[in-house]
Amino acid sequence: MPDRTVIVGDIHGCLEELRALLGDLRFESGRDRLVSVGDLVGKGPDGAGVVRFMREGGHEAVLGNHDEKLLRWRAGETKKPLSDTHAAHAAAMTDADWAWLEALPLYLEIPELDVLVVHAGVVPGVPIRKQRREDLLLMRSLRPDGTASPRLGDGRLWGSRYQGPPRVVFGHDAITGLQRWPHAIGLDTGCCYGGHLSALVLPENRVAQRRAFATHAAAAQGPLRLCPKAELSSTEPRPIVWGRLENGRPREVLVLATPAGEPRAYVNVCMHLPVPLDGGSRQFMNLAKTHLMCGTHGALYRLEDGYCTEGPCEGSTLEALPIWIDDDGWVVLD
Ligand code: FES
Ligand SMILES: [Mn+2]
């Protein structure tokens, strides 16, 4: 049995912070055991370096949703293009790194400490072998009916309802941050966003933290699951506040369907002057409902591609955000 087991929260490519944290702890390979809650890659500077560090050190991890995203992309299971950081991490990985990532389990039991490690969470009362894969990878809260939701605000944080045993150690929720529940502890403290890298040190049962050396990723949220595709309309764009504009102000996104039924998401800022298309009126389209329209000087934008066909900014294009349909038919904004 190792002297200490160190379970570290979402690393997201923050290799330098990981090294520093282990240095603070005087971590010794061979004597101590290092386990990651997953999400080794994406967002931060060096996901491939983190994978290599874990692999070469003989350390352990469970699979996170961002790790899975790379694997699915590599296997050709998703049409959605990778973000720039994910693509850079994927490009820097060796065959040995891929093989190691592919072999990661969805959960890790450490019976001698009465601990279960998962990436996102578990549904209380359901044995670990019966948990759904997507819940283990994505859940954050429990709806009133007890089912898992990947979102915050759909109900209670799942850890608040979990009775144990075993004690569950998890990550995935940088928005909530450090979570200490009687039988669960959440360790994602947003290192890649300029927060902290956190680790639970057992059996001491203390949390060690290292402040991020930099803000590596924009403080955007993870993917936002919006609604079933069928609920999108080509005549009534749905305004959603999501993320921030470059000037730090909240960003509004108009989500709609093209006449052919394809989902699109455009930032609600005119290409002529930086004002919202509707100018506060909540009328985003022309009267004929064929185009998005800027109410200030009447610029018309095509639904298909955001291209301005008429008006002072003719020839420019609305800023589009990546959007795709999840396996369950939901529209996801990334
Ligand atoms: S500000 Fe939108 S068309 Fe002029
Ligand atoms: Mn995650």
In the chain, what are the domain boundaries?
A: 5-211, 224-333
C-alpha–C-alpha distance, residues 24 and 202, integer Å: 15
Q: Which residues pair with 310 in a beta bridge?
A: 300
User: Residue 248: pLDDT band by 50, 70, 90 thresholds?
Assistant: low
User: Residue 176: pLDDT band by 50, 70, 90 thresholds?
Assistant: confident
Q: Which residues of 128-156 are buried (b: 16+ CB within 10 A; e: fewer)?
A: eeebeebbbbbbbbbeeeeebbbeeebbe
User: Residue 297: pLDDT band by 50, 70, 90 thresholds?
Assistant: very high
**Mean predicted lDDT score pLDDT of the chain:** 92
Smallest CA-to-CA distance from 294 within 308, 248, 192 is with 308
Length of the chain: 334
C-alpha–C-alpha distance, residues 272 and 253, integer Å: 17
**Relative to the CA of 273, which ligand 1 atom is closest?**
1
Distance 289 CA to ligand 1 centre (A): 18
pLDDT reading at 187 higher than 60: yes
User: Whose C-alpha lies nearest to ligand 1, atom 4?
Assistant: 297
pLDDT reading at 124 higher than 90: yes
Q: Which of 143-157, 221-235, 276-290 has the highest mean pLDDT?
A: 276-290
Nearest bound ligand to CA 136? 2
Q: What one-character-per-residue DSSP string does 199-210 give? A: EEEETTTEEEEE
Rg of the chain's alpha carbons, rounded to an integer?
Answer: 22
Q: What percent of the chain has pLDDT over 90?
A: 72
CB atoms within 10 A of CB 84: 8
**CATH T-level fold of 5-211:** Purple Acid Phosphatase; chain A, domain 2 (3.60.21)
Tens-place pLDDT, residues 25-57: 999 999 999 999 999 999 999 999 999 999 999
Task: Tell which CATH classification among 2.60.420.10, 2.102.10.10, 3.40.50.2300, 3.30.10.20 matches the domain 224-333.
Answer: 2.102.10.10
At a CB cut-off of 8 Å and minimum separation 6, what does 103 contact? none
Tens-place pLDDT, residues 85-98: 999 999 999 999 99
Ligand 1 neighbour 310 (Cβ under 6 A): no
C-alpha–C-alpha distance, residues 140 and 247, integer Å: 30
pLDDT reading at 164 higher than 80: yes
Ligand 1 neighbour 38 (Cβ under 6 A): no
| C-alpha triplet 187, 69, 96: angle, nearest 5° | 90
pLDDT reading at 285 higher than 90: yes
Report the pLDDT value the prediction gives residue 311, as an integer from 0 to 100.
96
pTM: 0.67
Report the pLDDT value the prediction gives residue 257, as an integer from 0 to 100.
94
Tell me what the mean pLDDT of segment 159-171 comes to.
96
Distance 323 CA to ligand 1 centre (A): 25
Higher pLDDT, 111 or 227: 111
Report the pLDDT value the prediction gives residue 270, as an integer from 0 to 100.
96
Smallest CA-to-CA distance from 162 within 178, 145, 141, 177 is with 141
Report the pLDDT value the prediction gives residue 103, as an integer from 0 to 100.
98
- Cα separations in angstroms, 54 against 38, 134, 161, 274: 11, 24, 32, 46
Tens-place pLDDT, residues 305-330: 999 999 999 999 999 988 888 777 88
Report the pLDDT value the prediction gives residue 153, as an integer from 0 to 100.
67
C-alpha–C-alpha distance, residues 231 and 223, integer Å: 18
Higher pLDDT, 226 or 298: 298
Q: Which residues of 295-309 are buried (b: 16+ CB within 10 A; e: fewer)?
A: bbeebbbbbeebbbe
Distance 57 CA to ligand 1 centre (A): 57
pLDDT reading at 221 higher than 60: no
Tell me what the mean pLDDT of segment 254-280 comes to.
92
Tell me what the mean pLDDT of segment 64-78 comes to.
95
Q: Where in 245-290 does DSSP place strands (E)?
A: 250-257, 263-267
Distance 232 CA to ligand 1 centre (A): 25
User: Residue 60: pLDDT band by 50, 70, 90 thresholds?
Assistant: very high
Which two three-digit tokens encode residue 268?
Answer: 């609600």
Residue in the block written with tokens 């400490």: 113
Report the pLDDT value the prediction gives residue 218, as an integer from 0 to 100.
64
